[in-house]
Structure 1
Amino acid sequence: MNAIDTRVLPTKRKQVALFSSDANFRHDVTTRLDALAIYDVKVSEAVEFLKGPPVDARPGIIILDLGDGELLGNAAIVEARSAWASVPLIAVSGELTSEQTRVLVRMNASDWLHSKSAERAASTCLVDLDFQSANCGAYLNQFNQFDLAGIIGQPERLDVELMDVIKLSRPSGLTLYSFERPQLPFEPRGADFVFRLLDLVAYRFDDIVIDLPNIETPWHESVLRTSDEIFIVFELNVASLRQGKRLYKKIRELRGNGVSITLVANKHKRKWFGNHFSRSELEKIFKAPHIKSLVLDNALLADALNRAILPSEVDSRARFNKDLKRMFKERLDNAQR
């Protein structure tokens, strides 16, 4: 009988050509692919794609970072794509104009990803700490069926592997932790479970968004003390303004001026004189300038809710979405300064 050949043959590594002028993007992609140990990545500037494939070897796949789409305005790009022949092309970009999109279609890309949204979503986690209603999951028609009873009583059982089991996911890559368990704030080890959950989320994700309900809980103050950016959302009525002002005052007492707080007037009508409170009145109430606003768009939000999708997926050009995008971009830009 012949002996069994136990030698392990090396896996043939796949060649990836990465074209990008973004140093951070190049680093992220090469790091992820190198970790898989089956890819060899050759990195070049985005404009090098126009020169076509090298004479000596063709890659197995091309990743082309188009950035804001400026390269699509180069008349040579479609011809350059033809030179690469049947090599699969993954195009990555931000938002494109209709003309840029048509050029991309002519390039016959195998896949097209929005770099900023896709990458950001994969490293972003939304934690819904409203255990009374779990509205974050409900709005997206996602409900966590996992029985938390055994874990809440023994929070130390919660680890990275179990976090993957109990998470909810969006097609965009966003991870959501949302549980409907109204009694949790009153359970003996409920707070220990929440703190363990937040610790693991902080370990696993780059960006964490926490939806904190208005009710006081054992973890309420801790979240306010440790958050980098805080958004207080209120509506233009007396009760909501009183509650928002109370929370704003509390955070300032806890953190002083060392934390960024963004005040957001939700559901305002397109013209400020159509609301009960003007912008200047709001600034006097909170004693704070630069209050942001989100336009009232019942049709958009109802459509998003009934279809269990994000408002941006219903109509990315809607005023509501533009208000959100502008507000978050401003905060992120300020944080990077």
Structure 2
Amino acid sequence: MPKSAPRPGTRTLGIYSEDAGLRAQFATRLADTGRAAMVEAEPASFLSASATTSKHDLIVLDVGDGAMLEDSRFQAARDKLAGVPLIVVSEALAPERVRQVVKLQAADWLRKPLLDQDISAVLAQMEGSTSSSRVTTIIGASGGAGATTLALMAGHYLSQSGTVALVDLDFQTGSCGAYLNSQNEFDLEAVVANPDRLDAELLDLIKAGQRANLELYSFERPDLVFAPTARRFALRLLDLLTLRHKEVVIDLPNLSTPWFDDVVRHSDDVVIVFETNVAALRQAKMLLRRVEAARGGSKGIALLANKTRFRMFGNPISRKDVEKLLGVDHFHTAVRDHDLLTDAVNRAIFPSEVSSHASFVRQAHRFLSSVFGVRKSAR
């Protein structure tokens, strides 16, 4: 019998398994998100003529060693699902049972033990998409290019339409928190040592601060970069936030951290911020190629030349020079406004709160609109 019943109108995950550990994995993750309920039952009940499997939004069926697939009632039970996606979970299967799984036309087939990303993929399918949120990563090609400022502006821009998580993965400085004067005092030691402890309750505790609809996660922990569990911590943090929020903005340093490739590969959009001098452009070109290699192409990558104003004539480096060097046919620009940004930092507010009509703010918003426009208007 089911151990729990969902509230009316709540999405439900039906999990049919004798594996208590597997059920606990899903129960923990659903508790983290708070966005769905789970109904548990034994695999045998899936075959029952009275089973109400069509009432679930998604079903996870643990077939163990595959013996269940040979039950004569199995296909009839599958036909009753009425379009409900089925995820098959199993141990290693013999070739003939693998063929039986393929014939089921399941939405996915996962082999135990399941990893965190497997659980995330299953829950994302219940949300009705391959990703439960949209992730935008912003990277500076060189120090001082302005990536942190743009990440803050991106978070503030999106927060006008809904809740946004802004994640600062520059653990060396925690620049986003410093900018908004929201340093995090939570002792991360135990969480860093065991990232699996990170859950929805801890997310609220480690949050550096909140401005209206913008939740900030920023930590000044230089030692974290070298911790053996740093990659698991960073990816676990992002995993939970993408389940909680429809929009996640990441301020990612261009360092060769263990999580760099994972983050850019799974981001919906990547923004590279650079300056237009010879040294900075050389770094921008290397970073662009590195991001393209991680993502398998240039799709979803946008470029912003910050602190830049091209004149009609007499530019030391022209727009065409930049396009030729980077191997692109388009990029955006934003002007330098030292006084505006200094005032914003000193007051720990967003540049648009200092002056929404400043040239830098208008140009940055025009760029952000090109990245987020369709997404923002769809809310």
**TM-score, scaled to structure 2:** 0.55
Decide which of 170, 187, 190 is 1:150's aligned counterpart: 190
From 110, 116, 124, give the equivalent of 2:164. Answer: 124
Q: Are the equivalent residues in 1 in contact too, given 2:274–2:280 (CA < 8 A)?
A: yes
Matches within 5 A, 1:252-267: 252-257=292-297, 259-267=299-307
Q: Could you say which residue in structure 2 is the equivalent of 1:163?
A: 203
User: Would you say 1:176 and 2:216 are equivalent positions?
Assistant: yes
Q: CA deviation at 1:330?
A: 1.4
Q: Which letter maps to 2:289?
A: K
Distance 1:233 1:258, change over 3 A: closer
Are 1:304 and 1:311, in contact at CA under 8 Å, matched by a contact in 2? yes
- Relative to structure 1, the CA distance from residue 136 to residue 213 in structure 2 (aligned partners, 3 Å threshold; closer, same or farther) is same
What code does the residue aligned with 2:167 have?
V
Distance 1:119 1:316, change over 3 A: closer
Cα pair 1:228 1:259 within 8 Å, conserved: no
1:288 aligns with 2:328: yes
Partners of 2:310 and 2:318 within 8 A in 1: no
Determine whether 1:300 maps to 2:340: yes
Q: Which amino acid aligns with 2:274?
A: F
Deviation at residue 242 of structure 1 after TM alignment: 1.2
Deviation at 1:284, TM superposition (A): 0.5
Q: TM-score, normalised by structure 1?
A: 0.62
Number of the residue aligned with 2:350 = 310
* Cα distance change on mapping 1:223 and 1:311 into 2, 3 Å: same
Q: Which residue of 1 aligns with 2:259?
A: 219
Structure with the larger RCO, 1 or 2 (CA within 8 Å, 6+ apart): 2
**1:196 partner letter:** R
Flag the 1:119–1:312 CA change in 2: closer, same or farther, 3 A. closer
Q: Render the CA deviation track for 1:28-55: whole Å, top value 9, x for unaligned.
A: xxxxxxxxxxxxxxxxxxxxxxxxxxxx
Match of 2:372 in 1: 332
* 2:227 partner amino acid: E
| SS at 1:236 equivalent | coil
In structure 2, relative to structure 1, the CA distance for the partners of 1:330 and 1:176 (3 Å cut) is same
Counterpart residue type for residue 215 of structure 2:
T
The one-letter code sitting in structure 1 at the alignment partner of 2:181 is N
The alignment partner of 1:183 has SS state of helix
Amino acid aligned to 2:299 = V
Q: CA RMSD in A?
A: 2.0
- Give the superposition deviation at 1:205: 0.6
**Do 2:158 and 2:164's aligned partners in 1 also have CA atoms closer than 8 Å?**
no
3-state SS in 2 of match to 1:170: strand
Offset, 1:169: 2.8
The aligned counterpart of 2:226 is: 186
Q: Residue 249 of structure 2: SS of its match in structure 1?
A: strand
Matches within 5 A, 1:91-110: none
Distance 2:246 2:372 in 1: 14
Shift of 1:277: 1.6
Q: Which residue of 2 aligns with 1:98?
A: none
Structure 2 stretches lacking a partner, 5+ long: 1-156
1:216 counterpart SS class: coil
% identical aligned pairs:
46
Which whole-Å CA distance do the structure 2 matches of 1:272 and 1:235 have between them?
19
Q: Give the one of 269, 277, 286 matched to 1:237.
A: 277
Q: Tell me the number of residue pairs that the alignment of Structure 1 and Structure 2 aligns.
A: 221
- Whole-angstrom CA distance in 1 between matches of 2:316 and 2:188: 44
1:15-34 superposed matches below 5 A = none
Instruction: Summarize deviations over 1:146-175 as a string: whole Å, max 9, x none.
Output: 111111001111100110111133332200
Alpha-carbon distance in 2 for matches of 1:259, 1:117: 22
CA deviation profile, 1:189-227 (whole Å, cap 9, x unmatched): 111111110101111111111111011100001011111
